[in-house]
Amino acid sequence: MAKRSLFKHSFIMMICALFATTLFAQDPKNISGTLVDADGKSVIQTTVLLLGEDGTEVQRTKTSKKRLGRGGGKFEFKKVMPGSYRLEAKSGDVGVDMPVSVGDDNVKLGDVPLTSSASTDSQASETDTTTSEGPGPNAPEFTP
């Protein structure tokens, strides 16, 4: 009878240990950083989004104001589960869209620069010369 009781207690202890390691592995972490412009100056009061892999919004926050000589532009997402995300922010004609991976430790991004990637997209569309009006004037003539 004592053997059975010992086996039962050992089995219960193994199950508890398994659940404990699973709980610690899924401990939420924080993501922090500072939005900066091309000159390295902090960008204040800007909305920053944390998006899941499927593009759904996980969290949103605003960058901090400048206070008492301390730099602004800081942001932090709290209690983020481990996984892959995208960080998005836009201020005027500049923005950022970058991947962020959360693992076993808090993620400190440091300075996150806003770039004008939207301007390169508009330049590409301005140089597009295709039309849907048919062949151009130098196209060979086709007679049926």
Taking alpha carbons only, the member of 55, 60, 52 closest to residue 83 is 52
| 2 belongs to a structural domain | no
> Residue 30: its pLDDT value, please?
98
> Residue 18: its pLDDT value, please?
63
| 65 belongs to a structural domain | yes
> How many independent structural domains does the chain possess?
1
> Residue 23: its pLDDT value, please?
53
> Residue 35: its pLDDT value, please?
96
> What is the pTM (predicted TM-score) of this model?
0.63
> Residue 94: its pLDDT value, please?
94
| 7 belongs to a structural domain | no
> Residue 140: its pLDDT value, please?
45
Q: Which domain does 101 fall in, by range?
A: 26-121
| 10 belongs to a structural domain | no
| 76 belongs to a structural domain | yes
> Residue 4: its pLDDT value, please?
64
| 130 belongs to a structural domain | no
| 110 belongs to a structural domain | yes
- The CATH number given to whatever domain includes residue 79 is 2.60.40.10
- CA dihedral over 71, 72, 77, 83, signed as positive or negative: negative
> Residue 123: its pLDDT value, please?
36
Averages of pLDDT over runs of 10 residues in the chain (144 residues) are 65 67 73 94 95 97 80 94 97 95 96 76 38 44 44
| 82 belongs to a structural domain | yes
> Residue 121: its pLDDT value, please?
43
